[in-house]
Amino acid sequence: MQSKPTAPPKQQDKGCWLYITNTTLPNTRRRVFQGAGKTWEQHLGRALGQKATLLQGVVKAKVPPSEGRLVLEAPSKATRRLLMAAIKGLGGREQVVAHLTPQEKACKTIVYRHAQQLGLRVRNKGDICEV
């Protein structure tokens, strides 16, 4: 008896993902997100205040339970960029990093390398760099 062929698992599109952490685990250097008994929407909505409207359309990505970071998926890269800037502007314990594709990461490395050679300052906006 032959089994039916199964389709390969669908690869998730991580192009609009944000990784958010707010604390470091004791005895490790691993950063994780701990919401203090609130949902992630309540935690970030309260921290963002007026800018909480940026959370519209943002969903929590399905990741393995071993992933300690809060992984959010924005509806677009522009929304991801605005949300990332708002969280960075809080000045609190939250740290946010945008997921970069291998091509985006390689381009960013080139920009940083050339800027360093020329003595220029680079502003990091996740997937966009301003020189």
* Same structural domain, 108 and 94: no
Residue type, 68: G
Nearest-angstrom CA–CA distance, 85 and 130: 13
Based on the fold, state whether residues 122 and 63 are members of the same structural domain: no
> Is residue 122 one of the residues assigned to a domain?
yes
Domain residues for 130?
Answer: 101-131
Asked if residue 73 and residue 53 are part of one domain, the reply reads yes
Predicted TM-score (pTM) of the model is: 0.76
35-70: pLDDT as tens digits:
776 788 888 888 888 888 888 889 999 888 888 899
In this prediction, residue 71 carries a pLDDT of: 92
Residues 27 and 76 in one domain: yes
Quote the number of domains for the chain: 2
Residues 82 and 124 placed together within one structural domain of the fold: no
Contact (Cβ atoms closer than 8 angstroms) between residue 67 and residue 38: no
